[in-house]
Amino acid sequence: MQTKPSSRFLRNPENDVRLLFWFAIIVMVAMFVWSFFLTPRLRQPGYAVLFSGLFGVNIFLHYTWFSWLATYRRWLLGYILVQGLLAFGATYLSGNIGMVFCLFMALIGELLGILHITLWSVLATVYLLTLSFINFILLVGFSQARWYILGTVPMIVFVALYVILYTRQAQANTRAQALLADLEVANRQLSEYAIQVEDLTIANERQRMARELHDTLSQGLAGLILQLEAADAHLASQRPDRARAIVLQAMEKARATLADARQAIDDLRHSEPRDLQVATRLEVERFTNATGIPCKLEIGLTGAVSDLVSETALRSISECLTNIARHAEARTASLRLMTGEGQLTVEVSDDGSGFDPAAVQAGHYGLLGMGERVRLAGGSVEVSSEPGKGTHIQIYFPLEIVAHG
């Protein structure tokens, strides 16, 4: 079942920034209202309008950096200079020492979040601290400067630590999102590969079934036709006993072909493994009885042969003998089944009409299917033939496959 990675457990850094921003805005508005109660001159129309205007522009610029500052970073220097002057003017008009820490610390935290801990952020912090210090001196006098230091240093350390931790968290979140994107791409690729594997599996299964049907139905029916033709010839020559014997063999062959066809269609292998030597002798005997072509048989097997190789070798022998009967017009044939020199060798030869292996017509799948089957069993096939010079086929299986197949 296909699964898709989910991003619902990843935090969005922008949401955290906006939460901090709105918290700072609430504090700044509270200080704005408190300044009106603390400073009587702010209740005068002129001062009220000027103070409200400076404060409003300051908050407006805080708000707008979310939408355009990330895109137009070349405006950042102007933003820092303007915001510093606005904070300076609003703080001076308010006469409220708390505004020194409220406005300037908000700006410092914001810029450290934008620039991180860099040379530019240090210079911007020095600029804002200088303006805030001047504000403080103008409001309470130079003699109280120690209180500015005692109040500012802890706040700067707190803001810097917060920004560092937040930056690391944001970077980790970014890496997690990148990893999630990679996982989604990998998941799509795996799904595509699974489809490709399924297609290849279906194609291989079709090829296998084509070989199975050819090896069972095609070879079986071809053998039956040859036997029936031989029986008909014996009947025409007034040899009914010989014809009856061939018909009995044909009936046995038909039963075997039916069993093999059912096995191929159902893709089951319930039958017991056949002994290669015994099965080869039976194939040669059937071939000679059906065609009248003598076949010299030589078998030299030592050791056990695996079921896979035994079945493949037997199918290949049956295919070669069927081709000799149908196409070769041979007078004699020979079959060697040997083990030695680290391999199992099957050699089938005839003295028939031969053919050009490179010019086999389309639709003749016997040699093609045999080659595919042999390769799947770890072996190889060599076909030597020329028109008028017979055919010699050699099939090799490594003994490793024979022993451990």
Domain ranges of the chain: 13-140, 280-405
Q: Find the helix or strand (DSSP H, E) in which 398 lies.
A: strand 391-398
Q: How confident is the model at residue 70 (pLDDT cuts 50, 70, 90)?
A: low
Q: pLDDT of 305-341, one tens digit each?
A: 888 888 889 889 988 998 898 888 899 999 999 988 8
Q: What is the model's pLDDT at position 204?
A: 65
Identify the residue with better confidence: 71 or 133.
Answer: 133
Q: pLDDT of 207-221, one tens digit each?
A: 666 666 665 666 677
pLDDT of 202 over the 70 cut: no
User: Any alpha helices (H) in 141-238, and if so which ranges?
Assistant: 145-213, 219-236
Rg over CA atoms, the chain? 47
Residues 6+ apart with CB under 8 A from 241: none
Separation of alpha carbons 39 and 50, rounded Å: 14
For the entire predicted model, the pTM comes to 0.40
Q: Which two three-digit tokens encode residue 377?
A: 């069993």
Identify the residue with better confidence: 64 or 400.
Answer: 64
Q: What is the model's pLDDT at position 365?
A: 58
Please, what CATH class does the domain formed by 280-405 belong to? Answer: alpha beta
Q: What is the model's pLDDT at position 182?
A: 86
Q: What is the model's pLDDT at position 8?
A: 47
Highest mean pLDDT among 53-67, 178-192, 235-249, 375-389: 375-389
Share the mean pLDDT of the chain: 77
Highest mean pLDDT among 4-13, 40-49, 106-115: 40-49
Q: What is the model's pLDDT at position 401?
A: 46
Q: Residue 180 in contact with residue 9, Cβ under 8 Å?
A: no
Q: What is the model's pLDDT at position 405?
A: 42
Name the 3-class secondary structure at 44. Answer: coil
Q: pLDDT of 113-152, one tens digit each?
A: 666 667 777 788 888 888 888 888 888 888 787 887 777 7
Cα–Cα nearest to 346, from 313, 379, 305: 313
Q: What percent of the chain has pLDDT over 70?
A: 78
Q: What is the model's pLDDT at position 402?
A: 45
pLDDT of 361 over the 80 cut: no
Q: pLDDT of 376-387, one tens digit each?
A: 888 999 999 989
Identify the residue with better confidence: 266 or 98.
Answer: 98
Q: What is the model's pLDDT at position 384?
A: 92
Cα–Cα nearest to 249, from 266, 227, 271: 227
Q: How confident is the model at residue 227 (pLDDT cuts 50, 70, 90)?
A: confident
Range in 215-224, 226-235, 369-378 the model is least confident about: 215-224
Cα–Cα nearest to 323, from 282, 355, 278, 280: 355
User: Any alpha helices (H) in 298-344, and if so which ranges?
Assistant: 307-323
